[in-house]
Amino acid sequence: MSKQAFLSIQHVDKAFSRGGVTNEVLKDVSLDVNEGEYISIIGHSGCGKSTLLNIVAGLTGVTKGVVFLEGKVVDEPGPDRAVVFQNHSLLPWLTAYENVALAVDKVFARTKTKAERHEWTMRQIELVNMAHAKDRRPSEISGGMKQRIGIARALAMQPKVLLLDEPFGALDALTRTHLQDQVMQIQTELKNTVLMITHDVDEAVLLSDRIVMMTNGPSARIGEVLSVPLERPRKRLELVSDRTYIAARAAVLKFLYERHRFIEAA
Amino acid sequence: MSAPVLKLDDARASKAAPAAEVVAFRAPKAPSPLQKRAGDVLNWATTTLVPPLVVLTLLLLFWELVCSRPGSSLPPPSQVVTDTWELIVNPFYDRGGLDKGLFWHLLASLQRVALGYAIAVVVGVAFGVLVGQSTWAMRGLDPIFQILRTVPPLAWLPLALAAFRDGQPSAIFVIFITSVWPIIINTAVGIRNIPTDYSNVAKVIRLNGFEYFTKIMIPAAAPYIFTGLRIGIGLSWLAIVAAEMLIGGVGIGFFIWDAWNSSNISDIILALVYVGVVGFILDRIVAFIAGAVTRGTANA
């Protein structure tokens, strides 16, 4: 136990019971994540990857097994594991600034003065290039901008692990590309530990240090873990013809579409 | 093959050329702010004000025609105005007792409504939050609420009179009991419909119970709560007139009843107009507050 990984998911089982019917979602999932690592979890829909993320976030309990973060058991949600939700989940009655400030004011209530908190909030908003729209409400900004504020809110908590739940899933392809580049740049700067759920193979290969591929549910397991030994900073255009990139992409595709094809085609 | 096409283009270009020289528009003068404002007002008048006025005039004309025949049981509008002229021009007179201007009657009714409604808002939102929040509270209370809310407001009045032994608190109780149900039910629905995402956000940043209540729950449920509040204010105003007819004293309801007893049909008609207008204004006020408070919440 002395040499434990930064984030350690150990033999996690998860089953949901409803009306006497037990549905096993995850079976014996173990994963060690190092500090500063960018991990993608990829799999077909319904494979329990979101459940796994929620377990790490502390929003869902485990049936069996345990999650450690820096040696401490994770059993409730907290700002050290900030989540960027798939549908941004900004509070619609608050402006972009207020949404970030809500988190900042709560998380740093005791450790920062009011002026420092304001400055910190502004810094996060500037980090995602949203200073120009900080006083707009979520209904007045585009999907990509909402997600940027969602990311700013999560980063503002200075989480030990940043959890991204299909953060770019609801965006159009161009916005997604732009945001991926931005996240990559921020991660290079801040060296966050990131756990990202995705179903986009290119996104996984481009952003990750390691890709965790999950088998189909029920009772999903980690099928394979692929290291992506690409130099950072990574350039999208240069990678298109890079051998390592192509090989990694092929490996993931093979896993998803040959060995673990989604049977009940969605 | 390409040559003729080119020629065609040339011909078109040369034809179009002189036109370009002729075009010399004078820049249109930008309307001054005052002009623009006047335009807005005019636009508002034609779209919002004129149609109801036209319809109203037609209705009054029809009424005048129907009721002007000798022996008609109701007075025509012209007769109403002449009969009630004193009440119209002098709403503030007070000759002691029940002989007061309409303003005082309306004020008395509004005070009862304000008090009863205010209690209903506090109790309604509190119970709504309880029922929306806790499954057990919902299972226990919801069926009871569903039955009680169907009891007509006036049916509560005798019971209230028996309990309070006084007209004033009884009327206020009737207002309360009338308007509290839609507030409870709508608040509960609003609380139950708070997206899990919002509560997840609250959990991640570790809001405590009170912060969750003020920063997430109330704003998230606000559109629903205000729907309840709007229905509630409408019902209170409906109930006060009926309740006051029975309890007596100063108030627009009793004024109407009193006018009926002294066969002042014109007074009744005037009072009805006032009741309608005040009810409309009350509804608008709540709607306005709702709009100001829930800005942006409804469409996320």
Helix (H, G, I), strand (E, B) or coil at B152: coil
In this structure, what CATH number is given to the domain that contains residue B264? 1.10.3720.10
pLDDT value, residue B27: 67
Count A/B contacts: CB-CB distance under 8 Å: 64
Q: Is residue B64 part of a domain?
A: no
ipTM attached to this prediction: 0.86
Structural domain containing residue B177: 83-294
Q: Is residue B27 part of a domain?
A: no
Closest partner residue to B201 (CB to CB) among A76, A89, A138 is A89
- The answer, for B204 touching chain A at a CB cutoff of 8 Å, is yes
In chain B, the residue whose alpha carbon lies closest to the alpha carbon of A139 is: B300
Q: Is residue B51 part of a domain?
A: no
Do A79 and B206 count as a contact with CB atoms less than 8 A apart? yes
Helix (H, G, I), strand (E, B) or coil at B136: helix
Closest partner residue to A87 (CB to CB) among B197, B205, B299 is B197
Do B204 and A83 count as a contact with CB atoms less than 8 A apart? yes
User: pLDDT (tens digit, 9 = 90+) per residue, A103-138?
Assistant: 999 999 999 999 999 999 999 999 888 899 999 999
Q: Is residue B288 part of a domain?
A: yes
- Mutant choice from B203, B204, B208, B299 vs A, greatest count of A C-beta within 10 A: B204
Do A79 and B205 count as a contact with CB atoms less than 8 A apart? yes
Tell me the pLDDT of chain A averaged across its residues. Answer: 88
pLDDT value, residue A99: 93
A83 close to B200: Cβ distance less than 8 angstroms: yes
The CA-CA-CA angle for residues A7, A9, A15, to 5°, reads 145
Q: Is residue B54 part of a domain?
A: no
Residue with tokens 């993931």: A252
Q: Tell me: pLDDT of A2 over 90.
A: no
Q: What radius of gyration do chain A's Cα atoms show?
A: 19
Q: Tell me: pLDDT of B3 over 60.
A: no
Q: Tell me: pLDDT of A235 over 70.
A: yes
Do A77 and B299 count as a contact with CB atoms less than 8 A apart? no
Q: Is residue B34 part of a domain?
A: no
Q: Tell me: pLDDT of A38 over 90.
A: yes
pLDDT band at B17 (very low <50, low <70, confident <90, very high): very low
- The answer, for B195 touching chain A at a CB cutoff of 8 Å, is yes
Read off the pLDDT of each residue in B38-62 and give the average, rounded to a whole number: 89
Distance from CA of B193 to the nearest CA of A (A): 14
Q: Is residue B208 part of a domain?
A: yes
Closest partner residue to A91 (CB to CB) among B198, B206, B299 is B198
Among B88, B87, B65, CA closest to B76: B65
Do A91 and B216 count as a contact with CB atoms less than 8 A apart? yes
For residue B53, the tally of other CB atoms under 10 A from its CB is 11
Pure H helices in A133-242: 143-156, 173-190, 201-207, 236-239
Q: Is residue B270 part of a domain?
A: yes
Q: What radius of gyration do chain B's Cα atoms show?
A: 30
DSSP letter, residue A196: E
Count how many domains chain B has.
Answer: 1
- The answer, for A87 touching chain B at a CB cutoff of 8 Å, is yes
